[in-house]
Amino acid sequence: MAKHFKYVILGGGVAAGYAAREFAKQGVKPGELAIISKEAVAPYERPALSKAYLFPEGAARLPGFHVCVGSGGERLLPTWYTEKGIELLLSTEVVKADLASKILTSAAGATFTYDTLIIATGSTVIKLSDFGVQGANSNNILYLREIDDADKLVAAIQAKKNGKAVVVGGGYIGLELGAIMKINNFDVTMVYPEPWCMPRLFTPDIASFYEGYYANKGVKIIKGTVAVGFDSDANGDVTAVKLKDGRVLDADIVVVGVGAKPLTTLFKGQLEEEKGGIKTDSYFKASIPDVYAVGDVATFPMKMYNEMRRVEHVDHARKSAEQAVKAIKASEEAKLIEEYDYLPFFYSRSFDLSWQFYGDNVGDAVIFGDNDPASAKPKFGAYWIKDGKVVGAFLEAGSPEENKAIAKVAKVQPAVKDIELLKKEGLVFASKI
């Protein structure tokens, strides 16, 4: 017999945890809500996996980083869900979603029905084996998405102590893992196809700071080429990475971060999609009744830019989840809440570095401050200017107040008359807004 819940959250990641907290705030009754997750643990702050979870000393471990500590909230331990009467159905992968009949089926054959569904399935990694890269299934070629992946990496770091690591990809995972592997005393080489790292956000000027900083830490960087094959030994353990430009790099561990794709396959043909995600309105309502989508999987109206967008970052996962739950509860009382009006916020940390970005990285970028990677305390930022207005702001090594100031700039979008003055003023410009 199917188990019925008034509300089901499908997926047990960041968005699921913040949605559960919002349901509790809104007075959900015991037995009304279930979270179904293929992971074995209660929702946690995923960003920890590429940072403190992999530290050689004082590493973060659960229950230390269950949601909602990442945004300064109360930590939701498994007992919290029990106390609230929220059912956590863990190690349960849903393999079929029949949205017309409102039935979810797990890999073990259990069925669940619901009145309202929140899809929070997040993203999955793109694998090199997806493009048929030769030898890509060798042992110790590792990806990072879930805690099980992080545990495999921790085991490999232990097993291959002080060895050679090749990091494939120059995006978020590439940069964070390149640093972590170095901190773990590996001889690290990063490889990516673009002319500079993090091209979806960084300008060449910003990237050159991080590349220089990494080089000073002893990380080798090879740009403009890709991994086309891997060698392995008799045990199937990876031993080398073959690059398209003919070079061959010795490797004991390969960490791959070549992007993620939203997990929408269960709903193909049942929901409208846009830009690779599930199309929603400003309340995260999908194209059929009683179905919502939040976090990485949702393509939603970005009000500020009058455009449909998908965002693969934790701040939006948290806020979209809260918005959807508020909208569900409001609709039950025939009330309306405000539209989602999201200011994009991304951040990263590696080595002693820490940056934040707010807004949109379109138009022309102006860099300010000290971006010399050899400086004792480098501190710099950038503004993006479009149609005479500042639309995006980036800051490395900002204080909480300074980060708040650049967020305000990106939100207010002040006009800029004199670019040279803006460059000279740097943070002073933000502090005046």
| Nearest C-alpha neighbor of 73 from the set 24, 143, 110, 124 | 24
* Nearest distance, CB of residue 122 and ligand NAD, angstroms: 9
Q: By CB neighbour count within 10 A (0-12 exposed, 13-18 middle, 19+ buried), where does 72 fall?
A: exposed
Q: Which residues bind ligand NAD (CB under 6 A)?
A: 50, 123, 168-174, 176, 191-194, 199, 226-227, 257-260, 312-313, 346, 348
Work out which of 74, 83, 93, 245 binds ligand FDA, going by CB under 6 A: 93
Nearer to ligand FDA, 144 or 167 (CB): 144
Where in 174-318 does DSSP place strands (E)? 187-192, 220-223, 227-232, 238-243, 248-250, 253-256, 260-262, 273-274, 277-279, 291-293, 298-302, 307-310
Quote the strand ranges of 91-171, DSSP E.
94-98, 103-106, 111-119, 123-125, 141-142, 164-168
Distance CA 371, CA 351 (A): 16
Cβ-based nearer residue to ligand NAD, 5 or 65: 65
Residue 66 CB, shortest distance to ligand FDA, in Å, is 12
- The interface mask with ligand FDA, positions 272-291, x = CB under 6 A, is --------------------
The full length of the chain comes to 433
Q: Does residue 175 interact with ligand FDA by CB under 6 A?
A: no
46 binds, among ligand FDA, ligand NAD, none (CB under 5 to 8 A by kind): ligand FDA
DSSP codes of every residue in 22-43: HHHHTTPPTTSEEEE-SSSS--
In the block, residue with structure tokens 């995923």: 46
* 140 touches 153 (CB < 8 A): no
Instruction: Output the smallest distance, CB 333 to ligand NAD, in A.
Output: 35
Four-residue CA torsion sign, 230, 233, 236, 239:
negative
| 11 lies in the site for ligand FDA, by CB under 6 A | yes
Smallest distance from ligand FDA to CB 144, Å: 5
Min separation Cβ 286 and ligand NAD, Å: 21
Counting contacts by CB under 6 A, is residue 153 touching ligand FDA? no
CA nearest neighbour of 196 among 170, 157, 219, 167: 170
Looking at beta carbons only, is 24 or 260 nearer to ligand NAD? 260
Segment lying near ligand FDA (by CB under 6 A), choices 121-129, 187-195, 244-252, 301-309: 121-129
Least distance in Å: CB of 225 to ligand FDA? Answer: 24
Give the phi and the psi of residue 65 in degrees, each rounded to 5. -125, 35
Token output for 320: 């979209």
**Locus of tokens 């899809």:** 119
Residue span binding ligand FDA (CB under 6 A) among the ranges 7-15, 25-33, 226-234, 335-343: 7-15
- Binding site partner of 32, from ligand NAD, ligand FDA, none, Cβ cut-off 5-8 A by kind: none
5 binds ligand FDA (CB under 6 A): no
Measured from the CB atom, the residue of 191 and 382 that comes closer to ligand NAD is: 191
Q: Give min distance, CB of 347 to ligand FDA, in A.
A: 5
CA distance 50 to 190: 16
Give the count of residues interacting with ligand FDA (CB under 6 A): 35
- Which residues sit at the interface with ligand FDA, rule CB under 6 A? 11-16, 36-39, 46-47, 49-50, 93-94, 120-123, 144-146, 263, 266, 295-296, 312-315, 317, 346-348
